[in-house]
């Protein structure tokens, strides 16, 4: 249980760290990735709790698909 919580905390910390810009020239390539791309890479990693990130992405995709389907229904 503690490893899962630590893994989730690490995943959130890594996601948060990549969202800002830094003054270093080497970070330019990392800034070209979208948040979705970073989360997808994280979900495929072997970091504990990374599968939870993948599950959250799938849930968000499912919800977005349902919203789009509901919006396209004619009255």
- What does the pLDDT read at residue 18? 55
> Is the residue at 15 inside a domain?
no
Beta-carbon contacts of residue 60 (< 8 Å; ≥ 6 apart) = none
> Is the residue at 13 inside a domain?
no
- What does the pLDDT read at residue 71? 87
- What does the pLDDT read at residue 73? 76
> Is the residue at 62 inside a domain?
yes
d(CA 30, CA 20): 10
Of the candidates 30, 39, 31, the residue with the CA atom closest to the CA atom of residue 8? 39
Q: How many helices (H) and strands (E) does the chain have?
A: 4, 0
Do residues 45 and 7 make contact, with C-beta atoms less than 8 angstroms apart?
no
Give the domain extent around 61.
32-75
d(CA 34, CA 44): 16
What would the pLDDT profile of 36-75 be if each residue is shown by its tens digit?
Answer: 999 999 999 999 999 999 999 999 999 999 999 988 876 6
């Amino acid at each position: 249980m503690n490893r899962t919580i630590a893994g989730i905390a690490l995943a959130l910390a890594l996601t948060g760290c990549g969202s800002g810009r830094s003054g270093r020239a080497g970070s330019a390539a990392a800034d070209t990735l979208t948040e979705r791309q970073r989360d997808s890479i994280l979900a495929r990693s072997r970091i504990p709790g990374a599968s939870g990130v993948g599950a959250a992405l799938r849930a968000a995709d499912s919800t977005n698909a349902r919203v789009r389907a509901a919006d396209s229904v004619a009255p």
